[in-house]
Amino acid sequence: MHHHPALYPDPHAFRPERFLEHSPGTYTFLPFGGGRRRCLGSSFAMLESVLVLRSIVASCEVGPGRTGGEIARRRNITVRPGAGASTVLTARREAGVAVA
């Protein structure tokens, strides 16, 4: 499906920007496949993403990108942040170290 030229012009090119203007359709983007053709690396990819997130949180302070609250919006059976939940990362300072 991801290599179908009617769905993705130049399907073999790595162009992640193709998803910036509009979200992919429900049945046109399956990053880990589905059914019997599930990706062998999906569990490893999820493990990697957890490790990357853990490394970021360990070395950075994570704060809100805007002031005030954010309205929750429904998305199917779950909820999502209404304005995208922007965040700001700042380098974490070690305790007891003077910053000049």
pLDDT tens by residue, the chain, 100 residues: 778 888 888 888 888 888 787 777 777 777 777 667 777 888 898 899 999 999 988 999 888 888 888 888 887 778 888 888 888 999 887 665 555 5
**What's the CA gap between 86 and 37, in Å, rounded?**
34
Per-residue confidence (pLDDT) for residue 72, from 0 to 100: 87
Decide if 23 is inside a domain.
no
Amino acid identity for residue 86 in this structure: S
Q: What is the pTM of this model?
A: 0.47
Per-residue confidence (pLDDT) for residue 54, from 0 to 100: 93
Per-residue confidence (pLDDT) for residue 52, from 0 to 100: 93
Selection from 41, 21, 34 nearest residue 9 by Cα:
21
Decide if 70 is inside a domain.
yes
Decide if 99 is inside a domain.
no
Decide if 1 is inside a domain.
no
Per-residue confidence (pLDDT) for residue 9, from 0 to 100: 85
Per-residue confidence (pLDDT) for residue 71, from 0 to 100: 85
Decide if 82 is inside a domain.
yes
Domain housing 87: 31-91
Q: What tokens were used for 90?
A: 């700042």
**What's the CA gap between 88 and 66, in Å, rounded?**
9
Per-residue confidence (pLDDT) for residue 64, from 0 to 100: 86
Per-residue confidence (pLDDT) for residue 99, from 0 to 100: 55
Structural domains of the chain, count: 1
